[in-house]
């Protein structure tokens, strides 16, 4: 997929999502109705062959549709192998309920708590921004 296969609005939604904004705020920023943003988001997922934003961001990074974050001036904390596996599953679009089967000794509650801890540690607003910021750390192993 080439970058021009996403519409300009779809590309803008993808960029705002990796910046940590949710669909309601994106609608406000872009001056669109929430329903229009949701429709555009579904188009992004369809074009990238995904079902949600975490998986779409991963695909967009892998295909060069969005640049990897430049974090040279921001030392990132190390991730344990378990944390890398967790973020990788989220990046693949796996739902929290399904992760407890794939991660040892994990309940949905513990996974949610760990994701909140990781968001705080990396100073990000949401899971999509976490995937974006940690992409190179998770994919390098």
Residue 75: the pLDDT is: 58
- Return the pLDDT at 140: 52
pLDDT digits (tens, 9 = 90+) for 45-58: 999 999 999 999 99
Q: Give per-residue pLDDT as tens, 81-128.
A: 889 889 999 989 888 888 888 887 788 899 999 999 999 988 888 888
Query: Would you give the distance in Å from CA 91 to the centre of its chain?
Result: 6
The one-character DSSP state at 106 is -
Tokens describing residue 119: 């968001």
Q: Are 15 and 66 in contact (CB under 8 A)?
A: yes
Q: Is the pTM of this model over 0.85?
A: no
Residue 49: exposure state from Cβ atoms within 10 A (0-12, 13-18, ≥19): exposed
**Mean per-residue pLDDT for 69-83?**
69
pLDDT at 70 over 80: no
Q: Which burial class, exposed, middle or buried, applies to 13 when counting CB atoms under 10 A from its CB (0-12, 13-18, 19+)?
A: buried
Residue 32 has pLDDT above 90, yes or no: yes
Contact yes or no for 134/79 (Cβ under 8 A)? yes
pLDDT at 73 over 50: no
Query: The domain 3-62 is classified under which CATH number: 3.40.50.11900, 3.40.50.300, 3.30.420.10, 1.10.10.10?
Result: 1.10.10.10
Q: Give percent of the chain above pLDDT 70.
A: 89
Q: Is the pLDDT of residue 3 over 80?
A: no
Percent of the chain surpassing pLDDT 90: 42
Q: What is the arithmetic mean of pLDDT over 18-37?
A: 94
């Amino acid at each position: 997929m080439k970058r021009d296969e996403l519409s300009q609005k779809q590309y803008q939604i993808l960029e705002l999502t990796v910046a940590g904004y949710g669909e309601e705020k994106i609608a406000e920023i872009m001056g669109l109705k929430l329903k229009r943003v949701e429709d555009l988001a579904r188009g992004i997922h369809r074009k990238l062959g995904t079902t949600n934003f975490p998986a779409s961001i991963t695909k967009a990074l892998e295909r060069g549709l969005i640049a990897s974050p430049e974090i040279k001036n921001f030392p990132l904390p190390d991730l344990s192998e378990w944390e890398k596996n967790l973020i990788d599953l989220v990046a693949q679009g796996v739902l929290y309920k399904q992760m407890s089967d794939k991660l040892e000794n994990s309940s949905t509650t513990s996974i949610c708590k760990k994701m909140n801890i990781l968001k705080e540690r990396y100073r990000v607003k949401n899971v999509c921004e976490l995937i974006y910021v940690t992409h190179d750390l998770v994919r390098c192993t």
